[in-house]
Amino acid sequence: MNDYLARMLTEDGSLRAIAVRTTVLAEECRRRHGTDPVATLALGRLVTGAALCGGLLKGEQRLALVVEGDGPLRRLMAETDAEGRVRASVKCPVSHLAATSADYTVSNAVGKSGFLHVVKDLGLKEAYRGSVRLQSGEIGEDLAYYFTVSEQTPSSVALGVCLGATGEVSAAGGFLVQALPDGDEGIVAAVERRLREFPPLTSLLKRDLTPEGILGEIFSDIPLRGRETLELSFHCGCRRQRIRGILLALGKEELRRLAEEENGAAVTCEFCREVYAFSREEVLRMAESLG
């Protein structure tokens, strides 16, 4: 089944809820980046978090989540837009943590100290940028903390990734529940209680619950309305022309050096890992074009 997002509101408008299935996306990120299992979990969670945030965007708006921690993965990033297109990168795809050790956890791979940055391109002159200190490095908690503290929207976030026997992603998904202004306190409190007792999300993902199924487990007898869905897909907007622009920005001297010493240039996109190769002659022509 394809990855998708489902978005709903409680009947009375007290809460907004978004749930996603991101199995294909998380697996594609693992394959493209060659992550080790704990890095696959971290990147899969971040991609899932970005997909959830994408459910809050409209039109041409875009959003990036950047996690910079003191763990071995160093820097993870996931970008999305209002059309459910997602891409991701990780600075160090292999954690080098011992897989048999009790320390082989997402928070140790990400690091417990550092920042979560949220960069939103809302089509205004300048991008909006909000940052919070990492709370646990588990990513879901950090994202909930960001929404609650930085955007002053009380939020609950759960992100789950399950791995198969060979380290591939067998299931991934998540949910975001937000209290809206002037909501019914009784309903908000009932959902908060339910979320405190909620089973680990991975147990629901293993049961192959759909995004709507996950929301059903959270809200049970609280009626929901306005169901909207959005297909999620991996998409990288990198193009040869844009990579050329990056090379041109290196300047004439550096381009000549690349042509002579490296026999050309090869640039790997940090998001999709596509390699763009430029021959010695192409690089020399680019150097000459700079006059």
Binding stretches for Zn ion (CB under 5 A): 236, 238, 269, 271-272
**Given the complex with Zn ion, which of 90 and 236 has the nearer CB atom?**
236
Nearest distance in Å: CB 270, Zn ion:
8
- Least CB distance to Zn ion at residue 246 (A): 12
Closest to Zn ion by CB, 8 or 88: 88
Expressed in percent and rounded to 5, the helix, strand and coil fractions of the chain are 35, 30, 35
Residue 101 C-beta: closest distance to Zn ion, Å: 34
The tokens 């975001």 sit on which residue?
176
Residue the block writes with tokens 């622009």: 245
Residue closer to Zn ion by CB (options 132, 267) is 267
Q: Nearest approach, Cβ of 93 to Zn ion (angstroms)?
A: 15
For 239-253, give one letter per residue: b (16+ CB within 10 A) or e: eeeebbeebeebeee
209 vs 236, which CB is nearer to Zn ion? 236
Shortest Å, Cβ 271 to Zn ion: 5
Please enumerate in sequence order all residues whose Cβ is within 8 A of that of 19, keeping only pairs 6 or more positions apart, or say none.
5, 6, 52, 173, 174, 175, 176, 211, 212, 214, 215
What burial class does residue 67 get, using C-beta atoms within 10 Å of its C-beta: 0-12 exposed, 13-18 middle, 19+ buried?
A: buried
- DSSP 3-state assignment of 34? coil
- Distance in Å, CB of 238 to Zn ion, minimum: 3
Distance CA 288, CA 279 (A): 14
Report the distance separating Cα 248 and Cα 243, nearest Å. 9
Q: Residue 31 carries which side chain, given as an amino acid letter?
A: R
Taking the complex as a whole, how short is the minimal distance between the CB of residue 32 and Zn ion, in angstroms? Answer: 9
Give the nearer residue to Zn ion in terms of CB position, either 34 or 251: 34
Residue with smaller CB distance to Zn ion, 234 or 271: 271
Place of tokens 């992603």: 169
Give the residue with the Cβ less far from Zn ion, 193 or 242. 242
- Take residue 252 and report the two structure tokens written for it: 């004439």
Tokens at 241, concatenated: 């022309």
Q: Please tell me the distance from the alpha carbon of residue 230 to that of residue 2, in angstroms, as a whole number.
A: 11
